[in-house]
A and B are shown apart, each in its own frame.
Chain A
Amino acid sequence: MASATAVEVAASIRAGTATARQVLEEHLGRIAVRDGELHAFNEVTGDAARVAADTVDARAGRGEDPGPLAGVPVALKDNLCTRGVPTTCSSKILAGWKPPYDATVVQRLAAAGAVVIGKTNLDEFAMGSSTENSAFGPTRNPHDPSRVPGGSSGGSAAAVAAGFAPLALGSDTGGSIRQPAALCGVVGVKPTYGLVSRYGLIAFASSLDQIGPFAASVEDAAVLLEVIAGHDPLDSTSLDRSGPDLASQLGRGVAGLKVGLVTELTGEGIEPEVAERTHQAAAALEAAGAVVREVSVPSLTYGLSAYYLIAPAEASSNLARYDGVRYGLRTTGAEDITQMYGATRAAGFGPEVKRRIMLGTYALSAGYYDAYYGKAQKVRTLIVRDFAAAYAEVDVLLSPTTPTVAFPLGAKTADPLSMYLNDVCTIPSNLAGHPAISVPFGTGAGGLPVGVQLMAPALGEATMFRAAAVVEAAARHLAPVEVR
């Protein structure tokens, strides 16, 4: 499955030793061979990709700089708007809808010379942790097709892991980039809230959603993040600053860096092999000169509960517009508008989306608002405060990305709560708006990939990536796991 990194691909195309068209055809070839089994893509946009690749080659041929991602195929999670290309959120309710505009990140990719190769599968409206909640069927894990790739950006994670594209974009609301990255053995980044424009990302929970990269290496992820980050006047929550300088900082090492191993996320509920790998990652950082200590962030244990009130509350409002009036699915035969709304939404949404809309509607209802939504926001404030206290002591925090390695398809679909627990380590960063990265770190039970997570305070990406590069380098020398 291993192939050239995005940085290598772009360099060879810019140097004229490869063409974007050749690179694209190689990747399309891999997709043709294996995506029937994995179903990473909802749609492969081969024809448009060929046009884009040829444009890159033409520019390179004229001696122009085709950009930092020249000719690099990129897979897009199918909740990112692409002009004229169906954008489904893996939901029946958006049947037939083609956005009239490109998301800001899509425009930035094109400007950087990247070639969009297709739209990847996800849990419907990004609600799930296994990509089994897709209206178009699940995606399978390239490391073991009987297992899930994680979710909700399972298609993007699987596409990078399977070599279908060197890079992919996902969205992360409670772990939807990092968790599938961990389960598929690739790098996944959730940037600081506001670093990447959300314009054109179909909202799940607006105050938590953030677009981020998938890549096979930390360096590739850094380059992709540099391309998509930076202020966008079309997103009011976009931070008023230019994108960070990340890739050039990667080699600086971690000497003297203070790393906190999060007590609350390394104990109960974490699979022993995963916990062991996390401790090994801590040891690797220490060996590279970092100062590692245990840090307690007590309120993190309430993160999951707060998240499952805030995210559904916002979703219940964000998803109201799918009502059959203007676009997408509309059922026929209704007597009046109220019936049409009900029948369309009943037919168009899957069970997990309905569950969260109901949960969120309830949490915002008069008389319950203070007890649920209001209290969840207080927990959020508490988490921000506890993180701030931790970051007064250390520069970055370390934890597992997920409690377990990839689980079999169907193992958790009957029990939403056990599915929700997948995100226990990743949710706090979303609630705080902080950046976090999942780096593959060896394998766990069954020889399946394990990811460790590095977290940093807001806009601490540069430091976080430096630590990630050290962890990535150490991962190359790991022996099979032995549980202590």
Chain B
Amino acid sequence: MALPEGWEMVCGLEVHCELNTATKLFCSCPNDFGSEPNTNVCPVCLGLPGSLPVLNAQAVELAIRIGTALSCEVKPSIFARKNYFYPDMPKDYQVSQYDKPINVDGFLDLPDGSQVGIERAHMEEDTGKSSHVGGNGRISSSTHSLVDYNRAGVPLVEIVSRPDIFSAEQARAYAAELRGILVATGASDGKMEEGSMRVDANVSVRHPGDPLGTRCEIKNLNSLRSLVRGIEYEAARQVELLESGKKVRQETRHWDEGAGRTRTGRVKEEADDYRYFPEPDLVPLAPDAAWVEAVRAALPRLPAARRAALSRAAGLEPATELVVTAVERGIDAYVLDAVDALDAAAFAALPEHERVVVALADDFVRDAAVVGAEARTALNRAVNDLPPEASVDVAPFAALVGLEVSGALTATQAKKVLEVLVERGGEGDPAAIAAELGLEAMETDTLVTAVDEVIAAHPGDWASYVGGNDKVAGMFVGKVMKATKGKADGKVVTALLQQRRAAESG
């Protein structure tokens, strides 16, 4: 959805992620999602009088992982108190970082080549969770509220981007890339639906070249889809307001996924006064430079590098959707493992004397085109036909890809075999399953006969095709498929049709 001519959307994202620590930020309570309410609590995270916070070293390390992965400068930092009253906040202040955050001035490169600046990625504690009982579930109509403090004190890192995002799609790509980094580094599980990654969007619009317009903060964006829809809606709403001579009011707005619109939340008449001041119960945090370097050196391969590796193997561009999706879904290593398995199988298939030569040569490198075709086939099957929650062992998956690449199975047939593999818990022999299902790619002779029969049965359409009308090609492929009960490979049929036409017009 594009904005009307002459308008530009500017967006910055604030992403809160819950860190994957064993315990909370300032006490030894378990950091668990989904426990019975108010079971993971103690005097510290309940803010009982006299209790004091002690910083969790694992949380600091994960924050440094995030910072280094985002190319931030990791700096000496201090914690501050953000003071405001709310029942789900046991101390009525939140321990956060304010003017001296741990990570500053980083950036994130997106698959499309754009770069989004990271202003800061600071540490803070999460609040508890309120649920409002009675009425429509909102606080205003409820009869009473319940508070679960299990989440109170869970460690968070808030990653604040610069306003470097100019489309909803770019915002989606940023959030997806960030999630990939959080998951890859083990810092967070990045689950938007469980709230372990929460994205707020600051959206404004302007005429290109103008200063930034008045922004609204969009909350309740609980999925990447909501993020895209929410931002698109909000930008369009602001343009409409401005074009009709009205003004955008700075406010917090909530995305209503069901209604497909944002609604006004809290109006910010003036900036909130949180009366920040340094948290006197904690000492300044000054991570040792050697520690920071050790954390940086131990970072796993990040999504950009993984896209590069996968795209190289498959002979594709890193920004190709298949590649991006595979890395986003974290199945790139699986695809490459399958290619390795095929490689190993090819090596094992060599005659004895050749294997010795290859082993002496230290590295068994097959034809790049073959490997690329295998990687592309594996990518296709894994991204398009492997359900996200399914798990299929690498060996049968590799074997299946091998059958498809060799032409023993068509794409359609391979997909069917994969479905059965998934149904059977990810184990089994794809060749045996194909036989069981009566699936085998047709012998070329049989297929040529079928093609010739269809041509003979439709002389008029054939003449038209030979005369250059490509539109009827689809009809011919369809008829052949029907005649062969789907066993034919569509690509092969198309090739045969083109061969026949070339011969006739030759």
What is A's interface to B at a CB cutoff of 8 Å? 79-81, 87, 89, 94, 97, 99-101, 103, 198-203, 205-207, 233-237, 313-314, 316-317, 320-321, 323, 325-327, 337-338, 341, 361, 364-366, 369, 373
Contact = CB atoms under 8 A, between A and B. Distances in A.
A164 B54 CA distance: 37
B281 A206 contact: yes
Given A200-B50, A236-B52, A323-B92, A317 B281 contact: no
Interface string B344-385: 000000000000000000000000000000000000000000
A320 B283 CA distance: 21
Nearest to A320: B92
Closest 4 CB pairs of A and B: A320-B92, A207-B280, A364-B275, A206-B280
B90 A364 contact: no
A373 B278 CA distance: 11
Contacts of A327: 48
B50 A365 contact: no
B315 interface: no
A206 B282 CA distance: 10
Contact of B50 (A202, A320, A325, A338): A202
Which one of A361, A364, A365 has the highest number of Cβ atoms from chain B below 10 Å of its Cβ?
A364
A384 to B, nearest CB: 16
B233 interface: no
Given A94-B49, A326-B90, 8 more contacts: A89-B49, A101-B43, A320-B83, A320-B92, A327-B48, A337-B145, A366-B271, A369-B277
A313 B283 CA distance: 18
B46 interface: yes
B87 A365 contact: no
Contacts of A101: 43, 48, 51
Contact of A237 (B145, B147, B281): B281
Nearest to B54: A236
B55 interface: yes
Given A99-B49, A236-B52, A236-B282, A321 B92 contact: yes
A135 to B, nearest CB: 15
A323 B277 contact: no
A323 B49 CA distance: 12
B50 A99 contact: yes
A interface SS class: loop
A316 B47 CA distance: 15
16 contacts: A81-B49, A81-B50, A87-B49, A94-B49, A101-B48, A203-B50, A236-B53, A236-B55, A236-B283, A314-B280, A316-B275, A321-B92, A323-B92, A361-B275, A364-B83, A365-B273
Contacts of B93: 317, 320
B129 interface: no
Contacts of B281: 203, 206, 236-237
Contacts of A103: 50
Nearest to A94: B49
Contacts of B50: 79-81, 87, 99, 103, 199-203
Contacts of B54: 233-236
B52 A321 contact: no
B318 to A, nearest CB: 45
Nearest to B139: A337
B337 to A, nearest CB: 44
Contact of B277 (A89, A200, A317, A321): A317
A205 B281 CA distance: 10
Contact of B52 (A80, A205, A235): A235
A320 B91 contact: yes
A205 B53 CA distance: 15
Contacts of B53: 236
A87 B43 CA distance: 14
A321 B93 CA distance: 8
B60 to A, nearest CB: 13
B81 interface: yes
Contacts of A361: 275
B85 interface: yes
A321 B49 contact: yes
Contacts of B85: 320, 323, 338, 341
Given A325-B87, A337-B87, A202 B49 contact: yes
Nearest to A361: B275
A364 B271 CA distance: 15
Given A202-B50, A235-B52, A317-B83, A365 B275 contact: yes
Contacts of B145: 337
Interface in B245-279: 271, 273, 275-277
A305 B46 CA distance: 34
A373 B277 contact: yes
Contact of A313 (B87, B271, B273, B277): B277
B48, B49, B277 — most chain A CB neighbours (10 Å): B49
B322 to A, nearest CB: 50
Contact of A317 (B48, B55, B81): B81
B49 A97 contact: yes
B431 to A, nearest CB: 61
Nearest to A340: B87
Contacts of B81: 317
Nearest to B91: A321
Contacts of A100: 43, 48
Nearest to B26: A236
Contacts of B46: 326
A26 to B, nearest CB: 31
Interface string B235-252: 000000000000000000
Contacts of A316: 83, 275
Contacts of B147: 325
A94 B43 CA distance: 15
Given A99-B48, A199-B52, A323-B85, A366 B273 contact: yes
A325 B48 CA distance: 12
Contacts of B276: 364
A3 to B, nearest CB: 31
A103 B52 CA distance: 11
Nearest to B81: A317
A321 B47 contact: yes
A136 B280 CA distance: 30
A331 to B, nearest CB: 15
A103 B271 CA distance: 39
A80 B81 CA distance: 23
Contacts of A326: 46-47, 90
Nearest to A319: B92
Contacts of B52: 198-199, 234-236
Contacts of A87: 49-50
A97 B90 CA distance: 15
